[in-house]
Structure 1
């Protein structure tokens, strides 16, 4: 009887046991379905539809440009300050949308999670790809503006753009897994995330430039500030989009605004992002056994 039972269970796995993010890769078709569904219904019933992907960041840019560029005079001390500002804003918007929606993705899909088993990581990951879909039109607008101002990047600057997107995606995914799994049982996580997102724009050189931070902080604080993966990613976007539009393209001039070791801090930022991804996945796997009953 025991032998027969062993034969019947051979090759089977315990229900609900998976391989984390690897299962998302193995079930890419489900990921495509989730992304397609959310993208299609996001602007359903909207007159402007996809144009909202352009209107919202443009409105945000105008407000900040007038407040920071005109009233505070930052555009007078920096060539093409509008590109510097907008390149940082679109990246911050990408992170905020991914992190915020990814945190709520499990609770928002509670009905589906309670009915069937599927890799629960699908929901935060799909939030990331949806944010990426909304992010790309903004990058297109930024690219068109940069081309108008004589954008002429080299290979390292193009690499910097891709590396910045990778840093933000990995970091936001790790944080979404971490806070999303906690949010299932403790809805206070959403309030914590809202507070984090409130400070995100101000903790990176978007509405101000890097030299202002360097001249008003100690070397230790400035070093710690640059270890922030979002700061590293924003500096990479400045290096990739803003720097190639400068009339003075000397390394000294560019380094004075993006830092002399932009690639070095990018490596640090990517490493820290992967640490958060590992922590987020471990916490997610630890808590997911209770998702169905807590939801």
Structure 2
């Protein structure tokens, strides 16, 4: 049972994904085109508002690529984690009436988040190419590594959040508060060395780096921003080490999330 059972129920998983997408775009004329229009607009707004008007391009070369690379991966985490948390409550009729592995609902929410993540990456790639993006093998590998870390981390937290949200509906609001600060809790709009300059290299900096989103964002920076024209910044120190630790922490949260989900699984239909 559990997550392993999800792989055996791929047909049901596919149906849930299509259901979520149909509900999301019901009555929409443009449909999935909005998945491209929104990040493209966001990219242009960031370019002019922050890069040009606030002159951040003077402080960080190709700042728009640097920032948007972080924004894209954080947007993915936010959608995956938030939708996972609401997945059981949002599908309560199915949970109460049909027996199926309940992990299908959080997993389908992650897949929907991936579907919306891909257009954002496409816009990021186009913007990076304009800035002279010439990636090597290690840059591409870093992007996939960052994606893997965030996927595992978001699913683990999402399983935990979905289970708790059935029992305590305040969980959904608490998760929304967390998602409000994740952009500032990782180096999306600023450089990591700015944090170290303030916190020093002691235990506070270690705690900052233990957040899996921090190495994941830096991996996206290395994958996209560092490979653009004119960037000569070195790889953040110990990025490989912190990335491995981030993946381990993410899997730990996945184990905790799945264990909590299975523990309360028998109460879901009754509580809903």
Same fold (TM > 0.5)? yes
Provide runs of 4+ in structure 1 moved above 6 Å: none
CA distance in 1, matches of 2:200, 2:251: 28
Q: Which residue of 2 aligns with 1:4?
A: none
Q: Is residue 80–residue 155 contact of structure 2 (8 Å, CA) maintained in 1?
A: yes
Q: Could you tell me which of 18, 21, 28 is aligned with 1:46? A: 28
Q: Name the counterpart of 1:106.
A: 88
Q: How far apart, in 1, do the equivalents of 2:103 and 2:215 lie? A: 26
Counterparts in 2 of 1:141 and 1:248: CA distance versus 1, 3 Å:
closer
Q: Does 1:234 align with 2:217?
A: yes
1:72 Cα offset (Å): 4.6
| In structure 2, C-alpha distance between the alignment counterparts of 1:204 and 1:63, rounded to whole Å | 21
Q: Give the direction of change, closer, same or farther, for the CA distance of 1:260–1:67 in structure 2 (3 Å limit).
A: same
110, 123, 128: which one aligns with 2:110: 128
**Paired residues of 2:57 and 2:63 also in contact (CA < 8 A):** yes
Separation in structure 2 between the aligned mates of residue 76 and residue 260 of structure 1, nearest angstrom:
24
8 A contact 2:89–2:166 mirrored in 1: yes
**Match of residue 82 from structure 1:** 64
Is 1:171 matched with 2:153? yes
Could you tell me whether the CA contact under 8 Å between 1:106 and 1:123 is conserved in 2? yes
CA shift at 1:38, angstroms? 1.7
CA 1:248–1:63: 2 relative to 1, 3 Å: closer
Equivalent of residue 222 in structure 1, options 197, 200, 205 = 205
Deviation of 1:63 after TM superposition, in Å, equals: 4.8
| Larger Rg, first or second structure (1 or 2) | 1
User: What is the deviation of 1:135?
Assistant: 0.4
The equivalent residue for 1:262 is 239
Query: What is the match of residue 199 of structure 1?
Result: 181
Tell me the distance in 1 between the aligned counterparts of 2:194 and 2:55: 13
Cα RMSD after superposing both structures: 1.5
Question: Is this contact kept in 1: 2:39–2:123, CA < 8 A?
Answer: no
The answer to whether the 8 Å contact 1:98/1:172 transfers is yes
Match of 1:293 in 2: 270
Q: CA deviation at 1:61?
A: 4.0
- Consecutive unaligned residues in structure 2, runs of 5 or more: none
Other-structure match for 1:271: 248
Cα distance in 2 for partners of 1:111, 1:205 equals 40
Q: Distance in 2 between matches of 1:174 and 1:108?
A: 19
Asked whether the 8 Å contact 2:186–2:213 carries over to 1, the reply is: yes
Query: SS at the partner of 2:101?
Result: coil
Provide the rounded CA distance (Å) in 1 between the counterparts of 2:134 and 2:193.
Answer: 24
